[in-house]
Structure 1
Amino acid sequence: MSRRRQTGLIAIAAALVLGACSTGGEGVPGASADATGGGAEQEAHQVDIEAVLDGMSTEQRVGQLLMPTVPGTTAEEAAPLVEQYHLGGVIYFPENLADAEQIAEMSSGLQEAGRAASAGAPLLLGVDQEQGLVARLGSIVTEFPDAMAIGATGSTDDAATLGRITGTELRALGINTDFVPVGDVNVNPDNPVIGIRSFGADPEAVSAMVAAEVGAFRQAGVATSVKHFPGHGDTATDSHTGLPVIETGRADWEATDLPPFRAAIEAGTDMVMVGHLSMPALDDSGDPATLSEPIVTGVLREELGFEGVVVTDALNMEAVRESHGDGEVAVRALEAGVDLLLMPPDLDLAYNALLTAVEEERISSERLEESVRRVLELKARLGLFPEQAAESGADAPAEIRSQESLAAAQGVADRSVTLLRNDEVDGAPVLPAAEGATVHVSGSGAETLAAALGESGVEVVTEGPAGADLAVVGTNGARGDAEQRAAVAALVDTGTPVVAVAVGTPYDVAALPGIAGYLATYSGQEVSLRAAARVITGEVAPSGRLPVAVPAGDGPEFAIGDGLGY
């Protein structure tokens, strides 16, 4: 049977139905599975993908490869772009997101516009909801700590909990695509763009977390897009502002960066996001991976056997705009093997550049069909076609931020807190704080941390640290911030025992001499600050373990797996 007819008729269950991308190739066994949200059995429906594809004009096919931002908080404001360019998808940002009811209504209206504009094809409605630092929905949904905090728990169940709850809430809002998980292995403490967005520095541990999260999102009926292939964890350059060059050799890349992406593919990730970074070991042209045929087609497609949707990182980032104009970037990405173009900075320019490339046969009709078919297959696996699934209804927002979900997120945060220093003061460890102790709080997250400490039973004083039993200071990147280090040193000079709470990466501990205690939360989320307070007061015993190594600075070196308890 031909590839065209094999994929022409896809049977999937209605509602929250997903199927793993078929994979093959060396070291990546072929896999295909269906999962229904909540495990519910649904009547199977069929979508004739080839009939949908054959019913599309060239303009509609080109539009299916575009996923830009849109204006406004209503379908009426955003629909004109969907209709004019026959969009394949839309990515939401905070300016589109007011509350649960509004999002559900906008999503439903946009789906109607998308089907009308694109021969019945629905929209991918996506968002960057990694949780923690990158969480576009904020407190509209249940908030979890960052990925590195999940890594510190050492529990794939916690990764799955995040994926299950986040995915279920997104789907209730009509959002069917989340650009997660981060598969980057953060081996560079100076990484300016990944850091706590990564599960850690151990490839095996990161791989396990990535696979667990992918599986949980699949169960919830939300597409995942592991990122940023071929790996953004060993860079000191932010690809939003410049092109990172990863000097890792092929063997080291295969040992460190590749495993989480392989694990995501094996777990059935629907998409792989290609990063704007140059890796000479895989392609010595100097092009970013986004525009690299050797990386996208050669490595990702042919070597790893990935047959799902390949999506670019945001095309408005400077790293991919340094060598080519925005229209040319869109064409070159498709030539490289990419299927979906995320956030082109000039939608009209990208759309017309692709149309011209097709008309001039720079991009063949077969190549265009290949990518459109993959996008349509993904939409069918998600159960988005009208003959497959009911959309989120008026009752959907009631599923958001349940007490059970909020408690689950707090439990994850509690388990992530890592105690790395606990020196003795007057013959006893500084933590947990003695009952009735007075505590002065300052630094990053101080207001939330102080409120949480007060709720946990200590007296928070505001007149200054000198008269307090304990000085708690939040840090965030103090390793590279002289002002923060000076503030901590001033606290130490008062003679009050100082406990630092790192709400970002944990590397600060080696740059803060004189402190008596050090906790890492790996996140500035309210649940993480509350978890730190619970550990400080002894309500919760610290159980987190370092998911990264901390190089020596003015203090000791720490290894992956380090952590103290009570």
Structure 2
Amino acid sequence: MTEINLKGNPFYLKDEQIDNIKLLMSKMTVREKVGQLFCLLGNYSTEQEIKEVIENYRPGGMMFRPQKSSSIQALQRYIQEVSPIPLLLGANLESGGDGIGTDGTFYGRQIEVAASNDKKNAYRLGLISAREGGAVGCNWSFAPVVDFNKNFANPIINVRTYGDNPDTVISMAQEYMKACQSSGMAVAIKHFPGDGVDDRDQHLLTSVNSLGVSDWDKTYGKIYQAMIDNGALTLMAGHIYQPAYTRYFNPDVKDDDIYPGSLSYELLHDLLREKLGFNGLISSDATNMAGFSSQGKRAELLPQAINAGCDMLLFTRDLEEDFNFVFDAVNEGVISTDRLNDAVIRVLATKEALHLFLKQRNNTLVPEKEALKVLKCPEHVKWAKELADESITLVKDKQDVLPLTLQKNKKILVFVIGDVVSASGKPPVSSIFITRLKEEGFNVTVFDPENEDLKDLMVNGSVKELKARFDTVIYFANVKTASNQTTVRLNWLKPMGYNVPWFVHEIPTIFISIANPYHLQDVPMVKTYINAYTANEYVPAILVDKLLGKSPFKGKSPVNAFCTYWDTHI
């Protein structure tokens, strides 16, 4: 084990804070220490449930999915009131306060921030996340994502990154971290040892970072070293293999004994602790993901994660069972007393670095209800609109169709692709876009496959009739990145994909993606292609201003939107 430096980066604790940790450690039972290793998913809606969990297990942290902010705040206030040791309360604050409060600001995806090519927007993302997350009682942001889009076919990171350039990732992620941690919100840089290399999702299997040692050092290693050197308090270990570095530290390792970051001593101790010098808290990614669970027997995996170097375990399958797996491993010596104490000290040190014990004494761990006014406040909304204006990117324009005018583009046919309620509850946004077009005087027809007249026109109709009915075609694609799906590609209607833009040489056709920036691979024939990156309530309206020439396109693509295909440039 690497010795903890409580006075050094990233904790910077004072003597009295260190003394408080020592006092707590001397008083805690083994069972209470084991509890500190768990960050639970907050599937609790009543105070009685929360009280029983805290009394029985003494968890070190908890994370709730987004709910109405007043409900989340009340639950988290109660949690901190009944827990003897304050909890780390986490949230996926990757795109703003919406990561914890459904009424919070959905500022923008990280890739939208990168497309603005302005670090101030990354700082604003961090500040909004810290302000709004903090208002409901959170103190731990499971962000920023510091992966990069090495492989455009990766189905899970996509819009969640700052693009495909490690230097951009570093500059943007550091601004987010600076805003967050200066506001009392710990960050968790993720997903070590780095997602985005292969085209699979660690939620569904154990994915692979297949870079060699030298290439890893120049990319992911460079990113993590910069974030560590600049004070990242915590790090999230992903369920991702890094075979090259595992073999570098353990040349005789058999393939069957290579484990992902969350379970690998070579990656967490030898690489992360020793080579990169990370002194902060390591949390696993969710242990109920298949990328973790499929690696072995759960009774062995949870202790293995702790022994590999994880200080906290994110989520459980069955709380009682998982707790006992770890508790029994401690009692049986599978997890040593030294390793248990090492992990708990890092958990407590993180809490001290956030001044949670001081806030507990002052009864300020969770703000009063008045603090909720910051969620979606005028300043944050203004910033979100400015980000949209600065980031929307005209990737390709080979037909001079822009700007749209009522004289030449009056009759518009809109194909909406995707744009359904997301897994996290985010609503469709195409209606905002369509309404704005109508307000500008355009006659807009939204394609409906249940409309037999329109369907027949697309399947069997003449080109002459198509051109008589419409002047312009716009595709509005909101195909969201989400866990538990294997691709983020376009799917077309049967028969023969009749809604594919086969008519690009007959009618001016524009394709807009308001999420995944890589759709050009599926519509290379389109001559005008726009990436807008974030399906929030601000982007669609500003898109219309861009289409009409009221505002110039300012965004710069942070990824290779042409997806390495030569024909996408034509």
Cα distance in 2 for residues equivalent to 1:456 and 1:49: 63
Cα distance in 2 for residues equivalent to 1:146 and 1:492: 32
- Are 2:235 and 1:263 equivalent residues in the alignment? no
One-letter amino acid of the structure 2 residue matched with residue 498 of structure 1? T
Contact 2:415 2:446 in 1 (8 A): no
Decide which of 69, 74, 77 is 1:105's aligned counterpart.
74
- Are 2:443 and 1:443 equivalent residues in the alignment? no
Contact 1:164 1:219 in 2 (8 A): no
Give the C-alpha shift of residue 113 in structure 1: 1.9
State how 1:325-336 maps to structure 2 within 5 Å.
325-336=297-308
SS at match of 2:559: coil
Contact 1:194 1:232 in 2 (8 A): yes
One-letter amino acid of the structure 1 residue matched with residue 416 of structure 2? G
Give the C-alpha shift of residue 21 in structure 1: 0.9
Structure 1 residues 496, 449: closer, same or farther in 2, change over 3 A? same
Partner of 1:226: 189
Partner of 1:272: 235
Partner of 1:473: 475
Which blocks of at least 5 consecutive residues in structure 2 are unaligned?
Answer: 248-256, 420-429, 448-453, 455-465, 480-486
State how 1:153-168 maps to structure 2 within 5 Å.
153-168=116-131
TM-score w.r.t. the length of structure 1 is 0.85
Partner of 2:389: 414
Give the C-alpha shift of residue 256 in structure 1: 1.8
Give the C-alpha shift of residue 253 in structure 1: 0.7
Give the C-alpha shift of residue 346 in structure 1: 2.2
Decide which of 60, 80, 99 is 2:52's aligned counterpart.
80
Cα distance in 2 for residues equivalent to 1:521 and 1:489: 21
One-letter amino acid of the structure 2 residue matched with residue 127 of structure 1? A
Contact 2:195 2:240 in 1 (8 A): yes
Contact 1:300 1:306 in 2 (8 A): yes
Give the C-alpha shift of residue 435 in structure 1: 5.0
Structure 1 residues 105, 476: closer, same or farther in 2, change over 3 A? closer
Give the C-alpha shift of residue 556 in structure 1: 3.3
Partner of 1:58: 30
Contact 1:107 1:173 in 2 (8 A): yes
Contact 2:212 2:244 in 1 (8 A): yes
Measured on the aligned residues, the alpha-carbon RMSD in Å equals: 2.7
- Are 2:503 and 1:492 equivalent residues in the alignment? yes
Partner of 2:348: 376
Higher deviation after alignment, 307-316 or 99-108: 99-108
Decide which of 254, 257, 271 is 1:299's aligned counterpart.
271
Partner of 1:15: none
Give the C-alpha shift of residue 300 in structure 1: 0.6
- Are 2:83 and 1:114 equivalent residues in the alignment? yes
One-letter amino acid of the structure 1 residue matched with residue 89 of structure 2? L
One-letter amino acid of the structure 2 residue matched with residue 396 of structure 1? A
Partner of 1:129: 93
SS at match of 1:556: helix
Partner of 1:251: 214
Contact 1:129 1:137 in 2 (8 A): yes
Provide Cα deviations, 1:25-47, integer angstroms capped at 9, x if missing partner: xxxxxxx599xxxxxxxxx9897
Decide which of 164, 172, 177 is 2:135's aligned counterpart.
172
Give the C-alpha shift of residue 240 in structure 1: 0.9
Decide which of 152, 164, 168 is 1:201's aligned counterpart.
164
TM-score w.r.t. the length of structure 2 is 0.84
Provide Cα deviations, 1:274-325, integer angstroms capped at 9, x if missing partner: 1101111111432111110010011111111111100001000001111322
Give the C-alpha shift of residue 516 in structure 1: 3.4
Structure 1 residues 71, 507: closer, same or farther in 2, change over 3 A? closer
Decide which of 243, 255, 260 is 1:288's aligned counterpart.
260
Partner of 2:10: 21
Contact 2:206 2:240 in 1 (8 A): yes
Contact 1:240 1:319 in 2 (8 A): yes
Give the C-alpha shift of residue 530 in structure 1: 2.8
Give the C-alpha shift of residue 459 in structure 1: 4.5
Partner of 2:254: none
Partner of 1:431: 402
Provide Cα deviations, 1:111-155, integer angstroms capped at 9, x if missing partner: 11222xxxxx101111112128x9543641011221111111111
Provide Cα deviations, 1:240-292, integer angstroms capped at 9, x if missing partner: 11111222101111112222222221222111101101111111432111110
Partner of 1:25: none
Structure 1 residues 45, 88: closer, same or farther in 2, change over 3 A? closer
Cα distance in 2 for residues equivalent to 1:47 and 1:123: 19
